[in-house]
Amino acid sequence: MSDTMVTTYSMWNQFRNCRKAAELRYLQQLIPIERDRNLHFGSLIHECLEIWHRERDLSSVLDLIDRRCAARAQDEDQKRDWHLATAMMRAYADRYAEEEFEVVALEHVFEGPIVNPATGASSRSFRLAGKVDGIVRIDGEYFILEHKTASQIDSDYLERLWTDFQITLYAHYVEQTRGIPITGILYNVLVKARLQQSKGETEEEFGARRADLLAKSKTGRTTARRREPESDEDFQRRLAEKYADPAMFHRERLYLSRDRFDVLRSELWELTQAFLDARRRGVFYQNTSFCFNYQRPCPYFALCRSNGNPNVIENFYQRVEPNEELRVLAAGAPEPAF
C-alpha cells in the first residue's frame, strides 16, 4: 500500500485554522452524526446545477429535488429546502435560458503532486486532489466555474471572493493536469431567499390576537379571522415573485494572478511540513479562537469540550473516510454524509 496521502485543500485549510480539527477529521475520520442544514442545501443546489448544465432539462432538476426531499411531508427542514430549491432552480433556468459560456467539463476531479517550490521536488507523503464545479469557455478563453449560494450579495461579499485561495490553487492544478490555460474564475452566485412559509395561527394565538383587537375596538366587535397556514402553491408564488428580482443571481469574473499562485504553493508546502511534524510528535494543538468562527460552534465543539470523551464520540460522531467531496455524484446517488 502506498504511504502517500491524497489530500484536499479543505484539509490544509482546516489544519491551518485548527490542527485539532484536522486531526479529528482526517486522521480519526470523525464527523458529526447530525449534519449542518446549510451543507445539505448547498450540496443539493450543486447537484441541481450540475444536472441543469449537463442536460438543460428543468424537469430532471425538479425531479432530483423531489427525490432528495422525499420526506418533506413529515420533515420541516426538507420541506423548507424543497420550496427554496424548487423556486431557485425554476428562476435560474428562466434567467439563464441562454448561456454566455460553453461547458467544457462538469464536476471535474484532478489530482497532482505537491511540489517544494525551493527544489521543484514532489512530496512523497502527500498529493493534492480536488474537484471543480466546471470548466467553461467564454470567447475562446477558459474559466473555472464555481457555484456559490449566499444569503446576500454586497460589495463585502464580492471583495471576499479574492480570499478564495482554494479555487485559485485548483485552477492551476486543472491547468497542469488538463493542459489548458485557465484565464480566471467565473463565480455563479445564487441568493437564498429568506422568506418563510407562514404556518398560520394556532387557536391560542388567534384567541390572544382577537382579545387584543376587542380590547382596542370602540364598538366591542371585530371581524378578525384565524389566519390559515400558507398553502404550498401560495408560498411558491411568493418565492417566484422574489426570484423575479435580477439581484437574486449574480455572475462575477475574477482573473487569475500568477504571483498569488506562487504564494499559495509555498504556503501549501509549509503546511505539509508542519503536518508531518505534528503527526510525528502526535501533537495537534487546539486553536480555541476558532471554535465559533462561523457564528456557530465548530462541529467538534462537543468533543473538545468533553476532552475527547469516548461516550461523546459514540453518541454524536461517526467515522467516514475523508475527501468525500471528490466523489462525483451521479443523479440518484445517495447523498454525502458531510
Q: Which residues bind ligand SF4 (CB under 6 A)?
A: 18, 20-21, 286-288, 290-291, 298, 300-301, 304
Residue 179 CB contacts under 8 Å (≥ 6 apart), including other chains:
none
> Nearer Cβ to ligand SF4, position 195 or 302?
302
Task: Specify the residue, 24 or 64, whose C-beta has the smaller distance to ligand SF4.
Answer: 24
Burial of residue 299 (CB within 10 Å: 0-12, 13-18, 19+) is buried
Least distance (Å) between residue 295 CB and ligand SF4: 14
User: Quick one: cell of 301?
Assistant: 465543539
Question: 200 or 297: whose CB is closer to ligand SF4?
Answer: 297
Of 180 and 312, the one with the shorter C-beta distance to ligand SF4 is 312
Question: Which residues are CB-contacts of 169 (< 8 A; sequence separation ≥ 6)?
Answer: 9, 128, 130, 261, 264, 265, 268
- Could you tell me how many helices (H) and strands (E) the chain has, helices first? 12, 8
Are 152 and 163 in contact, with CB atoms under 8 Å apart?
no
Helix, coil or strand: residue 228 = coil
Give me the residue label for grid cell 462525483: 328
CA distances in angstroms from 97 to 53, 57, 93, 94, listed in the order given? 11, 11, 6, 5
Residue among 8 and 78 whose Cβ is closer to ligand SF4? 8
CB of residue 13 to ligand SF4, shortest distance in Å: 13
What is the nearest approach in angstroms of ligand SF4 to the Cβ of residue 278?
A: 13
Q: Which is nearer to ligand SF4, 16 or 80 (CB)?
A: 16
User: What is the nearest approach in angstroms of ligand SF4 to the Cβ of residue 20?
Assistant: 4
Least Å distance, CB 285 to ligand SF4, is 9
Among residues 168, 145, 169, 149, the alpha carbon closest in space to that of 157 is found at 149
Q: Rank residues 12 and 300 by Cβ distance to ligand SF4 and give the closer one.
A: 300
Please give the C-alpha separations between residue 196 and each of 71, 84, 88, 231, 242, in angstroms, as whole numbers. Answer: 19, 10, 14, 12, 12
Q: How far is the CB of 305 from ligand SF4 (least distance, A)?
A: 7
CB 22, min distance to ligand SF4, A: 8
Residue 324's φ and ψ, nearest 5 degrees, are: -60, -25
Inter-axis angle of helices 258-281 and 9-17, nearest 10: 70
